[in-house]
Amino acid sequence: MSVLHRRDLPLLLAGASLFLAAPAARAAEGCAGTIFTADEGGASISAVDLASGRVSTVVVPITPHNVQAVADGRRLFAVGTAAGAHGSDHAGANGRLVVLEPVGGAAPRIIAEMPAGRHPGHVVADAAGERAFVTDSEADALIIVDVAQRRVAASIPVGDYPHGLRLSPDGREAWLANVKDGTVSVVDLAEGRQVARIEVGPSPVQVGFLPDGSRAYVSLRGANAVAEIDARSRRVLRRIPVGRGPVQVYATPDGRLLYVANEGTRSAPGTTASVIDVAAGAVVATIETGRGAHGVVVCGTGSRAFVTNLYDNTLAEIDVATQAVLLRIRVGRTPNGVTWSQA
């Protein structure tokens, strides 16, 4: 897949806690709102305003591994460990959840901080933003945080080393990828317990759903593949080969395509995103995004996909219609997780 001319957006220091990038020459056509990246290496969150192309980055008190916007865009959640508490190893540190308020495409404002287990990997929230769900890899648990009370309300045992998670589209279940035992845990949120454990393959990292909830997809880093699961029967239907070291996965709103970020390894970074045709169950495009492709999200209209590149400190913007990279936008250092907000 050919790549359009690269246009990196340089960061300009504007203060101790705020960086501003030069505006892009064009807005993301048909895709409004803001993209947020969790800049783990810089202890920051970057906000990319899709209307203007402006990038704002705010320093946070954690090294954020992942970030997630609430459905209505009013709140943003980020998880990590206290900034400066570790190098590349989270183990033994106290996990923290930071709640932020998006500010019209500008840098989000921090409004709360609270405990989130020992080694938080990913975070998602319910539709109201009242409960945050966090994987605690060290405790082998799903942590449920009461946001208003700023406390851990429950800890539910799951598989070995849970990392990525997503809520089912109906909000009734949390599906967690357990890296070390090759399974996905299904947690019934009303019952507060694991109700299924699905064998998927080596080193599952993250889960994604089709919008109708009929299928779940799990990246298998140890197999360079994505497992497709019938969400009702909990049965693996097939494993689809992708690039090296797949990490995050995300479907388009129409459920036709699935984007997979292929991170590779630290010594041999992957540089691509695979695009899977869901009906065919096969890769139909491989896109060069940047070194260490990690996080992926598709905006609400489905016109653009975005991939974070760990080792380039960039966010690649992809035209879903042509599968061409339109921009590589410079964000904070070592961007991991990524989310889209309509705000």
Longest dimension (CA), the chain: 53
Average of per-residue pLDDT across 232-237: 98
DSSP state of 69: E
Does residue 7 register a pLDDT over 70? no
Angle at alpha carbon of residue 250, lines to 88 and 280, rounded to 5°: 130
Separation CA 312–CA 270 (nearest Å): 12
First to last CA, the chain: 32
Separation CA 297–CA 198 (nearest Å): 25
Separation CA 180–CA 176 (nearest Å): 12
pLDDT value at residue 28: 66
Does residue 316 register a pLDDT over 80? yes
Separation CA 123–CA 143 (nearest Å): 9
Range with the poorest average pLDDT among 23-37, 128-142, 183-197, 323-337: 23-37
DSSP state of 213: S
Does residue 13 register a pLDDT over 90? no
Considering the chain, what percentage of its residues have pLDDT values greater than 70?
89
pLDDT value at residue 17: 31
Q: How many of the other CB atoms lie within 10 Å of CB of 74?
A: 14
Average of per-residue pLDDT across 176-199: 99
Residue-wise pLDDT tens digits, 84-133: 764 444 444 589 999 999 988 788 999 999 999 999 999 999 999 999 99
Q: For each of the domains in the chain, give its residue range(s) and CATH number, in order of start.
A: 11-341 (2.130.10.10)
Average of per-residue pLDDT across 220-236: 99
Separation CA 135–CA 116 (nearest Å): 9
pLDDT value at residue 71: 84
Average of per-residue pLDDT across 311-326: 98
H-helix or E-strand spanning residue 288: strand 282-288
Residues 6+ apart with CB under 8 A from 87: none
Residue-wise pLDDT tens digits, 268-287: 999 999 999 999 999 999 99
Q: What are the backbone angles phi and psi of residue 327, rounded to the nearest 5°?
A: -145, 150
Residue-wise pLDDT tens digits, 144-176: 999 999 999 999 999 999 999 999 999 999 999
Tell me the pLDDT band of 3, cut-offs 50, 70 and 90. Answer: very low
Residue-wise pLDDT tens digits, 38-89: 999 999 999 999 999 999 999 999 999 999 999 888 999 999 999 876 444 4
Tell me the pLDDT band of 5, cut-offs 50, 70 and 90. Answer: very low
Considering the chain, what percentage of its residues have pLDDT values greater than 90?
85
Judge residue 277's burial from the number of C-beta atoms within 10 Å of its C-beta, 0-12 exposed, 13-18 middle, 19 or more buried: middle
Residues 6+ apart with CB under 8 A from 322: none
Average predicted confidence (pLDDT) for the chain? 91
Strand partners, 298: 305
pLDDT value at residue 22: 42
pLDDT value at residue 20: 36
Query: 24 — alpha (psi -120 to 50), left (phi > 0) or beta?
Result: beta
